[in-house]
Every structure is written in structure tokens, then in C-alpha cells.
Structure 1
Amino acid sequence: MSTKFNEEYFQDFQEDIKFLINSDIRLEILGYLYNSSASIKEIEERTNFSYSSILDNINKLEQRKFIFSIDDKFYLYNKTKLKLTNILYFNKTTNFLRDNSDFLNQSLIDINIDTIKDLSALEGSKLIESNNIDLFKPTEIFQDSLMGFKFLKGIFPYFHPNHYDIISYWIDNDCTVELILPDAVSEAVKNFIKDYLPKSPAIKNKHVKLKPNDSNIQFAFTVSDKCLVLAFYTKNGQFNQNAVITSTNQEAINFGLKLFEEYEKLCGDYVSLDYIIYPDGRGKNY
């Protein structure tokens, strides 16, 4: 794609945004027509705008090739739906970047993962930072995200200092957990699970899975059925334990699931953690 084409497209995109956001009526008309066609009368009943205002904006939308009519019914062009999707994505991404600009400017986000580019999914998320009153708030947020869920997926450059309570919770509650960890951390978690299981005879670990990976872990996150918690390295190469982004929105959770799935494909195999205790006390790996 040429630079000229990019510039022209961006200019048109800017003009479309200006044209639409200058009128609530236009946005409501397009929103109403997004899923179904309608007459002016039907739009009037739905939106409570006056007939004359709707007619005026319908004409402007037709002139700008956003909509067309057939037998007094108005429809969106397919390209209009694409424009609206792009504008929504652009606005949501801009909102997230604006709201978290200081944190993001200090963070290393040079990550070759397609999903991480879709920051629009994180609009409305909360940035939790440590402060003089609560130095460990981000760490507590991470710990909370590691317990009380139906499933959990995550990537960590280290493991939480309160690992005993966390891992024992997973085993005792038969949790479904998939983690990508540096080799040494993965080995430590694996050994803890094997040491813990004999305390509960005849328990087999069915649901905790680990993937050792020492390369290119430039962020940490957990995603579960309840929330997403995300943290980054700083630009000087140190992991930032003092700030996390968290969200309970389903769009953010879906973002986390896609992020894990994409990163998972870059790693090796899961290690075997199945370990069952027989009545005579003998243990066996699977």
C-alpha cells in the first residue's frame, strides 16, 4: 500500500469521524440502521427526533454515501458498516491510550504478537498502581486473579510469593489452569505440586498444565472467566511489579484468551504433572 494511499485514506477517515460526531442524530440513525432497514417514520418513532431533523440528516447521509434507499426504506452500504467498525475501534483505542498514556510510555510493548495490537479491547480497564498508602496493591490484584475462578490461563516471568496458598487452592479445588513460565519457575511449580499431592492420598492432578519457556516473555497476565490482569516490562528491561491493568469486561477477557492462544503456539510442549498416590503410598508420574 503506497504512502499516498495511506494519507488519502486517513484524511477520508478523519472527515468521516468529524461528519458523524458533529451530529447525535446521524449516529443514532446509523445505529438504528446497522441491524435492519427502516423508513423515516420508523426512525422517528424509534429515536424521538423530529421528522424534519431526520429527513435533513438522511439526505446528508445519502449525499456522503453512507446509506441508500429502496421503496422508502433506508439501508447501510456494506462499506458503511466497515467504516463504523473502524471508527469504533479507533475511538476505543484512542480512549485507552489517552487514559493510560504515562504508564504506556514507560512500558515495553515491542511484542511481535498480533493480539497485543488490539488495545481497543482494553478500553474502560483500570490501571492499578502502588502508592505510599498501599505499596502492594498490584501484587494483591494478581493474587486475587489467581484464585476463585472456573479456569485460568496466564504468563508470568516469576511466580507470586504466596505460591503455597495459590497452588494448594488449585489442587484442592480441582481448578483448570494453564500457565507459560520460565524454565526455572516452571520446574519449581512442578516440584511443589508433586510434593503437595502426597498429603492428599489418591489425588491425581488433572487440570494444572505448565509450558516452560525462557524466550521473549515481555509481559505477565492472567485471564479467567472473571477478569483479565495485565502487566508489562519497563523500557529499561525490568519487570514492573508496581502497576497492572485489570478489567472484568468480556471483551477484555476475550482479548486475554486470544493473547494466550497466540503466545501458546510459539512455545514447546506442556510438561507432564499427573501424579497419583496408590494406597500403599507409592507414587507414579504420568
Structure 2
Amino acid sequence: MKKISAVIKMIMTENYIDKDILFIVKSEIRLKILTELNEKPQTIREIVDNTNMIYSSVSNNMNKLEYKNHVIKENRTYSINPMTKIYFNQLMEFKKSIDVIQNYNSLWYKHDITYLNIGLIEDITKLYQSKLIETNPIDIYKTHNNIKRQLKNSRNVKGVLPYIHPEYPKLIENILKNNGSVELIMEKDIYKGLVSQMDEKLKRKSMREGRLKINIIKENLEIYLLICDDAMNLGLFRNDGSYDQNRILNSSSDEAMNWAASLFDNIKEKVI
């Protein structure tokens, strides 16, 4: 959590927020106007119709934006100033970063994010469309059942596994039996626990064909990552060193899948 906060402070000191940006941020109406104009040039009436805002409020704030050279008027149509567009998009990215931290606070707070390098944290907005899956007293297996469902429906899986659930060996076997591929990163003891429960003939055949790859890492793995065909899943360890099986961050967006792939590759580099 401290690492994420440090990045936010860094962004704040790099003039992402200056007087012009503060002028925009202080008004929800101005933000909505620029959001509309960021899509395409529009008249005041078109913005009013799209947003259901009051005409006089839009007109008044549009005049202020024009006075500060944030928008350009041609006849009755307004467009966003190119420099303002850059600032505005940076602002929206910054807001998305804050939303990712706040919306999934229970995942980040008091959890270890050592495996997330500065590049991954700076790209944290790629997790914006994620959902936090959490167990509850009624459904204490909610996180595992979600993972289980994905493994059953996937042909290609990559994972960083700090532990092996009793159902994982069979689920992985089924992927391999269906000519799928599995690549895992794990500690040696976890590896032994996995292969001891797998069919030896299937394991050897899959490894020979390059469909089963297991990378042994010497250091203690304190992160959970599973990338299936249609979704990625991220789990973290608590600061006390215990894995938090009660919550995982899940996303099927392309951006999140790419983010997860980068995390996998970064951890894999520690093996080589």
C-alpha cells in the first residue's frame, strides 16, 4: 500500500495537477462538459441532451472554459483545446488509479505487493474494469469456486502458485488431456506436491510435447496469479506472511490480461 501511495505522490509532483487542472476538477459540470467534448465537438444543446444537465449551467461553465482557453468555439460548436485534451486524459488516468486503489482497498490494505514493480503499479489503471471476489459466511468457497470454474473451461493456463489446492492436480490433468497447455511458477515443495498427484504418463507426455512447463523458483512465493483463457486472477499475501484466500481480483479485460502477463513474465525472470 505504501508503494502505491508513493507513486501517487510522484505523479502529484510531476505537474499532473496544476492550476488549470484544479479549475477543471473543482466543478463536476466542467468535468462532464469536457468528458463530452473529449469524445467529439458538440453544441451546448447536444451536451445538455446527452447529460441531462441544466442548459444555463452548461452555458455558464462553457463560457468559463472558453475564457480560460480550454475549449474552442466555431459557430455554435465547441471542441476541446488540444493541450487541455492531454491534461484531461492524464487527469482521467489519475482518477482511475485512485479508483482502483479505493474500490479494491481490502485487497491492497495490509497486503504485500512486493512482486508488483514500479511499472506495474504505474499501469494499475489497467485493472480498472476488474471485480473483487470475496468470500462471505454464506459462501466461504466463493474464490476457489470461481477459480475452479475458469480452470474447467480453459485450454491455456499460466499461473504463479504459492500453494496447491487439493482439486488443482485433477483440474490441470483435464486441461492436458484435452490437449491444452499449462505453464506454472512455484516453489520446489509445491511442485513435488503437484506432480505426486498427477498421472505420471500424462505428465511426461505433456512435458515432452511442451504443453506442461513448470518453473521452479528458489525464493518464497508470496503472490497468487492465474491467467486462464478469458480472465486473470490476482491474490495477495497479508503482511503477516499468510496467504489471503478470502479475496481475489478478477478481470476479463484485455488490458488486465496484458497486465497479468507482464507480472507473470517479471516473476519468471527470477527463475531464469
TM-score, normalised to structure 2, is: 0.75
Larger CA deviation: 230-239 vs 76-85: 76-85
Label 1:232 to 1:215 Cα distance change in 2 as closer, same or farther (>3 A): same
In terms of fraction of residues, the more helix-rich structure is 2
* Higher Rg: 1
Question: Which one of the candidate residues 234, 237, 244 is aligned to 1:233?
Answer: 237
Label 1:128 to 1:39 Cα distance change in 2 as closer, same or farther (>3 A): closer
Q: Is 1:166 matched up with 2:171?
A: yes
3-state SS of 2:152 partner: coil
Give the number of equivalent residue pairs: 261
The match for 1:281 is none
Question: How far apart, in 1, do the equivalents of 2:70 and 2:271 lie?
Answer: 45
The match for 1:15 is 22
- 1:232 Cα offset (Å): 0.4
Question: Which one of the candidate residues 256, 260, 267 is aligned to 1:256?
Answer: 260
Question: How far apart, in 1, do the equivalents of 2:112 and 2:51 lie?
Answer: 45
Alignment of 1:133-212 (within 5 A): 133-186=138-191, 189=194, 195-197=200-202, 205-212=209-216
3-state SS of 1:222 partner: strand
Compute the RMSD of aligned alpha carbons.
Answer: 3.7
Unaligned runs of at least 5 residues, structure 2: 1-9
Could you tell me the percent identity over the aligned residues? 25
Question: How far apart, in 2, do the equivalents of 1:169 and 1:221 lie?
Answer: 20
Label 1:56 to 1:188 Cα distance change in 2 as closer, same or farther (>3 A): same
- 1:231 Cα offset (Å): 0.6
- 1:50 Cα offset (Å): 7.4
TM-score, normalised to structure 1, is: 0.72
Question: How far apart, in 1, do the equivalents of 2:45 and 2:191 lie?
Answer: 64
The match for 1:76 is 80
Letter in 1 for 2:130: S
3-state SS of 1:110 partner: coil
Question: How far apart, in 2, do the equivalents of 1:133 and 1:39 lie?
Answer: 52
Question: Which one of the candidate residues 94, 101, 106 is aligned to 1:97?
Answer: 101
Label 1:123 to 1:63 Cα distance change in 2 as closer, same or farther (>3 A): same
Unaligned runs of at least 5 residues, structure 1: 269-286
- 1:223 Cα offset (Å): 1.9
Label 1:60 to 1:142 Cα distance change in 2 as closer, same or farther (>3 A): same
